[in-house]
């Protein structure tokens, strides 16, 4: 036995307990109905007999008195009519009837002598009246005295009989009262028994069910805390809780086995991974969800110039690297613009370049709000690539500079050929010179773009700032491309917000950016079309927008349109693909931004912002 129950299943025990409870309720209800019926029957009997006795007594008194009055009238000769005689007979009949009913009510419940007295008194009364009725003349006083004596005897006998019946009613009342007391006692006993049984069930069933469940909950919680030594003991193995305990113990055994195996494997795997990572060329650092460093390899020690023990446990914003600025550690990789490297570090006597990448590590098990459980920061050593890129840039700059001198000389020579002072050219020669000058100008533009790009990539870009209004800047730019606009019969719709402040910019370079955007818009817009140029003020910046009516830009090209050597498929010219890349570098050098919005078939809108003078 366990928890006060025999070795039955939980289902059987609950069924037995509930069935017993229901059985007691049925017994209590049946007993209540039976006793209530008995009380009802006794009460009805008492009421009926009591009412009959009262009614018969009142009628006997009434008719006996009425007979006495009628006899006086008859015997004294005041009324000898048939009606008077009929009234006397009616009175005798009613008295006789009442006494007979009284005898019927008292049948078997009074002494035989009293019943005989009733019968004798009644018979003598009727006999005396009969004799006096048929004698003719009689002694009125003597006969009346005799009849009145008989009548008094009947009244006395009736009163005795009524008293006996009243005692019988009281006896029945006492019996009913006793029955009621018995019913109350029985109901109290049954109610107490039922309550005791109910409390017993309320105590045993929850104790039996909740006890093992509470124990199971506690042990599952400890299992969740990695305490796999938990076992459930002392339960009856034949019931459901026993089966649950057996399954729980088996699960705990298997979890304990897996845990031992996993710990061993995890330790081996951790050492293996640490060995591999320590021998990688990249510097690697791992942080938790609070940005505290929990691991780093030897290459990271070298990069930071600090021992591993000094960094572990510190948050990223608390670390002060020796070989590079802390801003580079805290900045996001995409905050460095389009440059391939994020920062440079001075390690020994050499400047090295690194590209930083951050990878989130899943989500924390202790939270369900998707917060990262930490991150891995990888510092890729791109020094070799960076040095090659710098060498390439320097080579292109040198080469472009070397090209610029002979190209300029060719331009001067072509201008001299075109001069009438040196001789007039025929029509065919004129076309050749014009073609040469156009191609030479295009070549000079490419060389200038390469020179500008070289200056930007090597960080040698210089800004010669001067104050100018937005309207003056736009007009200066439009004047340099007027020939292109007239050739394609394009009109420029200008719109300026009122009260625009002045700008402090490098006029030549910003004009070059605006020219590039307007030239592209003219190139892609249909002939006799419109170009829309607007300038507005926006949170410390002036916003320049150039919108065309061209074919638009493909969606996959939108993300890289400002990178080098990217060209729209709708471009029919043979440009270098460097214009927008240079434009972005110039705008960002002025602390502004350049963006594009486009939809195929509906044109493109290029927008750049510049901070205005305070």
User: Of the ranges 130-134, 210-214, 322-326, which one carries the lowest mean pLDDT score?
Assistant: 130-134
346 and 405 part of one domain: no
- Residue 175: what pLDDT? 77
The span from the CA of 158 to the CA of 106, in Å, is 11
415 and 515 in a single domain? The answer is: no
Residues 239 and 293 in one domain: no
Judge whether 135 and 77 are in contact, CB under 8 Å: no
- Asked if residue 596 and residue 474 are part of one domain, the reply reads yes
Q: Please state, in angstroms and rounded to a whole number, the distance separating the CA atoms of residues 356 and 304.
A: 13
Residue 6 pLDDT exceeds 60: no
Query: Do 477 and 605 have their domain in common?
Result: yes
| Mean pLDDT (whole number) for 443-462 | 65
Q: Give the mean pLDDT of the chain.
A: 76
Residue with tokens 């009727």: 126
Cβ within 8 Å of residue 584, ≥6 positions away: 338, 562, 594
In what helix (H) or strand (E) does residue 360 lie, and over which residues does it extend? strand 350-360
Same domain for 444 and 501: no
Out of 67-76, 163-172, 524-533, give the one with best mean pLDDT. 524-533
Sort strands 594-598 and 541-547 into parallel, antiparallel or unpaired: unpaired
What's the mean pLDDT in 57-68? 72
Contact predicate 578/564, CB 8 Å: yes
Residue 217 lies in a domain: no
Tell me: do 436 and 546 sit in the same domain: no
Q: For residue range 463-516, what is the model confidence (pLDDT) as tens digits?
A: 788 999 999 999 988 887 887 888 888 999 999 998 899 999 988 889 889 988
Judge whether 32 and 50 are in contact, CB under 8 Å: no
Residue 305 and residue 264 share a domain: no
Does pLDDT of 607 surpass 80?
Answer: yes
544 pLDDT higher than 90: yes
Average pLDDT value for residue range 403-409: 71
- Report the range of poorest mean pLDDT among 85-89, 103-107, 245-249: 103-107
User: 197-211, 297-311, 524-538: lowest mean pLDDT where?
Assistant: 197-211
- pLDDT of 277-300, one tens digit each? 666 778 888 898 888 998 888 888
Q: Are 587 and 606 in contact (CB under 8 A)?
A: no
**Could you say which DSSP state residue 502 is in?**
P
Listed residues 352, 384, 416: the one ending a domain:
384
Residue 569 pLDDT greater than 50, yes or no: yes
The answer to whether 384 and 409 are in contact (CB under 8 A) is no
Give the pLDDT band (50/70/90) at residue 339. Answer: very low
User: What long-range pairs does 369-375 form, CB within 8 A, spacing at least 24?
Assistant: 371/289, 372/289, 373/288, 373/289, 374/286, 374/287, 374/288, 374/289, 374/294, 375/286, 375/287
User: Got the DSSP string for 523-582?
Assistant: HHSPTT-EEEEEEEEETTEEEEEEE--S----HHHHTTTTSTT---TT--S---S-HHHH
Question: Between the CA of residue 34 and those of 46, 175, 517, what are the distances in Å?
Answer: 19, 16, 107
| Residue 153 sits in the same domain as residue 260 | no
Question: Would residue 511 count as lying in a domain?
Answer: yes
Token output for 304:
């930071």
Question: Residues 600, 488: one domain?
Answer: yes
Domain that holds residue 99: 58-161
Domain assignment of residue 450, yes or no: yes
On whether both 574 and 606 belong to a single domain, the answer is yes
**Out of 21-35, 218-232, 299-313, 389-403, least confident range:** 389-403
The whole-angstrom separation of Cα 166 and Cα 172 is: 10
| Bridge partners (DSSP) listed for residue 608 | 544, 594
What confidence category does residue 594 fall into, taking pLDDT thresholds of 50, 70 and 90? very high
Largest Cα separation within the chain, whole Å, is 201
Q: How far apart are CA 147 and CA 129, in angstroms?
A: 7
Write out pLDDT tens, residues 188-241.
887 787 778 777 767 766 666 667 777 777 878 887 777 777 777 766 556 676
Asked if residue 342 lies in contact with residue 356, where contact means CB atoms within 8 angstroms, the answer is yes
- Of 430, 454, 478, the position where a domain reaches its end is 454
pTM exceeds cut of 0.85: no
Q: What is the pLDDT of residue 116?
A: 63
Measuring CA to CA, which residue among 57, 43, 8, 535 is closest to residue 238? 8
Helix (H, G, I), strand (E, B) or coil at 503: strand
Look at residue 337 in the predicted model and tell me its pLDDT.
40
Domain boundary among 454, 489, 511: 454
Instruction: Please give the Cα distance from 44 to 47 (Å, whole number).
Output: 5
**What residues form DSSP beta bridges with 537?**
542
289/267 same-domain check: no
> Do the domain assignments include residue 497?
yes
Task: Quote the pLDDT of residue 3.
Answer: 46
| Confidence band of 546 (pLDDT split at 50, 70, 90) | very high
């Amino acid at each position: 036995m366990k928890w006060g129950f025999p070795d039955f299943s939980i289902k059987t025990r609950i069924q037995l307990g509930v069935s017993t409870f229901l059985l007691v309720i049925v017994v209590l209800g049946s007993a209540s109905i039976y006793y209530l019926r008995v009380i009802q029957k006794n009460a009805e009997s008492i009421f009926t007999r009591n009412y009959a006795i009262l009614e018969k007594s009142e009628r006997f008194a009434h008719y006996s008195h009425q007979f006495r009055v009628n006899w006086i009238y008859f015997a004294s000769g005041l009324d000898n009519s048939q009606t008077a005689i009929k009234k006397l007979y009616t009175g005798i009949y009613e008295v006789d009837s009442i006494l007979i009913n009284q005898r019927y009510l008292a049948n078997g419940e009074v002494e035989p002598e009293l019943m005989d007295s009733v019968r004798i008194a009644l018979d003598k009364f009727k006999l005396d009246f009969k004799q006096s009725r048929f004698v003719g003349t009689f002694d009125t006083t003597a006969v009346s005295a005799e009849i009145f004596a008989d009548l008094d005897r009947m009244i006395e006998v009736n009163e005795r009989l009524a008293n006996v019946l009243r005692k019988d009613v009281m006896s029945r009342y006492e019996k009913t009262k006793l029955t009621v007391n018995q019913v109350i006692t029985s109901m109290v006993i049954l109610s107490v028994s039922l309550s005791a049984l109910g409390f017993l069930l309320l105590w045993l069933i929850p104790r039996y069910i909740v006890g093992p469940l509470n124990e199971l909950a506690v042990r599952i919680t400890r299992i969740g805390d990695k305490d796999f030594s938990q076992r459930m003991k002392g339960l009856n193995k034949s019931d459901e809780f026993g089966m649950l305990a057996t399954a729980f113990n088996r699960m705990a055994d298997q979890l304990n086995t897996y845990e031992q195996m996993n710990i061993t494997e995890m330790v081996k795997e951790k050492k293996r991974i640490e060995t591999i990572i320590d021998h990688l060329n990249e510097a690697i650092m791992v942080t938790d969800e609070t940005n505290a460093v929990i691991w780093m390899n030897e290459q990271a020690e070298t990069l930071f110039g600090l021992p591993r023990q000094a960094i572990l446990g510190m948050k990223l914003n608390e670390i002060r690297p020796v070989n590079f600025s802390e801003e580079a550690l805290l900045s996001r990789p995409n905050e460095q613009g389009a440059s391939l490297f994020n920062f440079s570090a001075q390690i020994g006597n050499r400047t090295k370049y690194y590209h930083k990448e951050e990878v989130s590590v899943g989500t924390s098990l202790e939270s369900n709000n998707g917060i990262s459980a930490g991150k891995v920061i990888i510092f890729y050593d791109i020094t070799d690539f960076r040095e090659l890129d710098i060498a390439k840039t320097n080579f292109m700059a040198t080469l472009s500079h070397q090209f610029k001198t002979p190209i300029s000389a060719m331009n001067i020579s072509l201008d001299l050929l075109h001069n009438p002072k040196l001789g007039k050219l025929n029509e065919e020669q004129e076309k050749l010179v014009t073609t040469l000058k156009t191609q030479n100008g295009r070549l000079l533009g490419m060389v200038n773009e390469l020179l500008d790009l070289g200056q930007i990539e090597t960080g040698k870009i210089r800004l010669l700032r001067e104050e100018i209004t937005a309207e003056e800047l736009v007009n200066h730019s439009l004047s340099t491309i007027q020939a292109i606009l007239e050739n394609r019969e394009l009109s420029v719709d200008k719109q300026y917000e009122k009260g625009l402040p002045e700008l402090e910019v490098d006029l030549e370079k910003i004009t070059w950016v605006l020219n590039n955007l307007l030239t592209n818009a003219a190139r892609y817009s249909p002939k006799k079309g419109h170009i829309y140029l607007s300038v507005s003020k926006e949170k410390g910046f002036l916003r320049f927008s150039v919108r065309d009516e061209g074919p638009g830009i493909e969606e996959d090209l939108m993300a890289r349109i400002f990178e080098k050597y990217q060209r729209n498929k709708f471009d029919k010219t043979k440009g270098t693909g460097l214009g927008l890349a240079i434009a972005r570098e110039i705008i960002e050098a002025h602390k502004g931004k350049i963006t594009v919005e486009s939809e195929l078939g509906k044109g493109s809108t290029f927008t750049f912002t510049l901070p205005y003078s305070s």
